[in-house]
Structure formats: structure tokens, C-alpha cells
Amino acid sequence: MIAGIWEEFLLLVREEAGSRVVDTWFKAVSLHSWDSRDQIVYLEAPNQFVRDWIKNNYIPLIQRILQRLLNVDSVKVQLIDPASTQIGKQSIPVHDPEIIQPATKTSLSHLEVNQKGTAIAPHTVYRQWNGINSSYSFDTFIVGPSNSLAYAASQAVAEKPGQMYNPLFIYGGSGLGKTHLLHAIGNEISRRDKKAKIVYQTTDRFVNEFIHAIRFDQMHKFQAKYKDIDVLLIDDVQFISNKEQTQEAFFHIFNALYEARKQIIFTCDAYPQNIEGIAERLRSRLAWGLVTDIYAPPLETKVAILKKKAEMGAEPLPDDVAHFIASQVFSNIRELEGALVRVMAFASLTRQQVTLELAQKVLIGAVTSNHARSIGFDNVIQAVQKYYSYSLNDLCSKARNKDISSVRQIAMFLMKKTTDKSLRDIGEFLGHRDHSTVMYAVERIEERCVQDAEFKHKVERMMHEIIHNP
């Protein structure tokens, strides 16, 4: 389960630094090994360009997040070449480091950089030859009432691509399994027909490809890539909003594939008619076939997901621990699986049994409410003011005395755990502070809850009031 820490790391970086940073830089990196004795993390970068960029720009971010995930006071980060991953090279320790073999690896043999310093991946860059992650299949997808229609439709499309439900449009919140189904369709079609030409593409990457083609006069290559494929899998199509030229190119690609009876599948975070910033003629085509949704799973499905995930990692998961994690009201499956990763990793690194007590210790306060979308910052401030005599102006001020700083950290912690707002949103609300300040506050309160039972009880009371009295 230690390999899952890098997946959890990517989720936290996406939240703190944005999806573009993750997709451009960190997806190209893999977690090679963890030396628990000297507390060194070895990260494998695909080339010197990526290695140097991360070293110069993101080491503090990496250290801060990995310290939290590994539950250690400090972490040293060393970046290594793919050719230097054998034990003994580049000072990798010989005292039994844990080697972590990534399931997939991004090949970044060539990166273009635009005028703003953002890397643009050309159309030859894929996680695999067709972009599909082989670890996602229908067999590993847990079916429940929240996703049964989407699952059945996906299977039908995989069995008869281009003949049923074309296009297939799957929508729902983040982290609920849409991307899993997208890859499962691609893997199943590939298994049935080895000659099928399948392309998985995130919308961000599609846009970057289009920009790259315009900049380097390669539109003929861009168009040729999509002309002869059999199946097109487009993830997060909402990100095509307000990009008129890209929408025009995509419109013609859609028409050509549809008329040729090629299968097209989309995922999105909204119903087609609710996507803003897209042309009406494209919106109508998104809804031409079958539109189905995925929503948050019930408790029983969450338990089944956790048991399956643990089984895949060959790790025993007691029933009481599975029910405890599932009951912590995580807003999506990624958070649910991330909680399992934290529990399993902590148990592995500290050589403890996975018990209910250990899970409670690791996940203290790490919940998001079912009511998160109806809870605002004002609700948190009101709850905090019942226990501490500081006004909102006090918490937003630049004052740094111990008492105000402590209460401000509590407010930040509660905002992070009970609302759906980002670290940046919280920092901006509380006196235009940096997101790293909020991250530190959350970590500090989590530590205090572990060390001080009375303080933990007070924080839990405030959280209960916020969640049940929004």
C-alpha cells in the first residue's frame, strides 16, 4: 500500500498548486524508494529538464506534503535518473530501502515550453502508447446504486463500440469513478480487438495539443492523429469551455468520427445543458447519445470499495476498520481511498497492526461533511467564537501573538475539514494569507489533537456544531 502514497501526494498537490502543475511536472515523476532510517525519499524523474525544474521550484512543497503522508518530522528529497535507480548509484542506500514500482510512467522525452514557462506536452506524450491506464478494468470497479447505469452502459459500449450509445456521456462529481470507467472501456475494447485504435485524452491535453499544432504549424499532424482512430475517450470535457478555436476543431473531429460510426465517450462534471462557455451546436452533440450520471456511493458500497482496494494490495482490512473509514463522510472515492492509503501506510511504516484505534488516530478530523457545500466560512467563525473571544477582524489581522495564532489555526483547520473551499480560498478569507500557511495550520491542529485529548474533544465539539447546524 506504500505505493499509493504517491497517488495521495498527487491529489494534495493538485489541490494546493493546481492541476496544471500536476499534469505538467509531477505525473512525469515516480516514487522510487523510501529510506525510513535516514528519512530520504528518492524520486525518479524522466530527464534532466524535469528533474532540474522540480528541484528548483517544488522541493519545499514535496517535503511538506510527504512529511504529512509519511507521518515524520522531516523528509529529505533526492531526485534520480531512470538510469541510476539501481542500488548503489547516486547514493541510494544499500540498507534495504523500500523500492516502489509505479504502475505507469509518463514518457517525457520532449517538452516544449511556452512564453510563460509552462510546459506543453506534444501529441507524442502518453502515459502508455494510447494513453490508457491498464490498471483500470471493469473487474476492479465496485458497482452500486450510485453508478450501476453508468457501469452497464460502459460495458455495452465496450462490447459493441460504435453501435450502442454513441456518444456515451458520463457526468458526476470529482473522484467518483468516471475516469475509471473511461479506462475500463478502453482496456476491454483493446482486449476484444487488438487492432482497435484507441486514444484516451484529457481535455487539457487536447487543448495543449491544439495550441502546439498551431504554434509549430503541425495542424496536419493534429488532424491525422484523430482521423483514423476507432475509439476516442475524452476526460473532463468541461475544460473546453470558452476556447472557441479548440471547440471548432473538436466539433469537426466529432462529426468525422460520428459519421464513420466510431465510438466516442466523454466524462464531465456537469450535465451537457449545464456546461457554460461552449457553442450550442457542440453542446447538442454531447447529448446525442446516452447521458448517465454517477453520484456519491452509499455506506455499503464504500465498504465494498475499501475491502476490494485492500484485497488488491494484499493487505488485510478488518471489517470494523472498513466501516469506520467508510463512515467518515468523505466526499468522493479518491478521498476514501486516500484515507485507506494513509492508514495502511502508517501501519506499515510503524510496523503496527491495522486496528480501529490506529485508524482513528490517523484519520482524526480528516473528514468532509455531507453538508460541506452548504457550510460557509461564517458558520465556522460562529462556532469558533462560542469558545474563543476573538472577532473575525482579529483572526484576519496581522497579529501573531500565541493565542490569536492558535485560534486562527483552529479556524483554518475547521474550514478545511467542513467546507469544500480550497487552501487558497481559506487563506484569502483569513487576511490574504498564503495557502502554505493554511496547510501548516491544518497539520499543527492534527498534531495537537493526537497529543491533547481535551483539545481534541473541543475541536470535535466545534466540528459537530458546524456540521449539524450549518
From CA 43, how far away is CA 61, in angstroms rounded? 14
Q: Determine if the peptide bond prior to 167 is cis (ω within 30°).
A: yes
The predicted model scores a pTM of 0.53
Q: What digits encode the pLDDT tens for the residues 190-216?
A: 999 989 999 998 888 888 888 888 877
Q: Which residue has the cell 484485497?
A: 311
Q: In the chain, where are the structural domains located?
A: 4-99, 121-294, 299-362, 372-468
The CATH classification number of 121-294 equals: 3.40.50.300
Concatenating the DSSP letter of every residue in 134-193 gives TT--STTPPP-TTTHHHHHHHHHHHHSTTTSSSSEEEEESTTSSHHHHHHHHHHHHHHH-
- Looking at the DSSP bridge assignments, the partners of residue 201 are 234
Q: What digits encode the pLDDT tens for the residues 343-397?
A: 887 787 778 888 988 888 888 644 443 444 467 888 899 989 988 988 998 999 9
Query: Binning pLDDT at 50, 70 and 90, where does residue 160 land?
Result: very high
- Please tell me the predicted confidence (pLDDT) of residue 285: 92
Q: What digits encode the pLDDT tens for the residues 103-130?
A: 333 333 333 333 333 333 333 333 334 6
- Please tell me the predicted confidence (pLDDT) of residue 205: 82
Residue type, 162: G
Share of the chain above pLDDT 70, in %: 85
The CATH classification number of 4-99 equals: 3.30.300.180
Mean model confidence pLDDT for the chain = 80
Query: Binning pLDDT at 50, 70 and 90, where does residue 470 land?
Result: low
- Sequence-separated (6 or more) residues with CB below 8 Å from residue 35: 41, 42, 93, 95, 97
Q: Beta 198-202 vs 168-172: how paired, if at all?
A: unpaired
Largest CA distance in the chain: 69
Count CA atoms within 13 Å of residue 143 on its CB side.
Answer: 12
Answer for the pair 233, 186: CB distance below 8 angstroms, yes or no. yes
Residue type, 245: Q
- Please tell me the predicted confidence (pLDDT) of residue 31: 86
The CATH classification number of 372-468 equals: 1.10.1750.10
Q: At the topology level of CATH, where does 299-362 sit?
A: Helicase, Ruva Protein; domain 3 (1.10.8)
Closest CA to 331 of 380, 270, 373: 373
- The domains spanning 4-99 and 121-294 adopt the same CATH topology: no
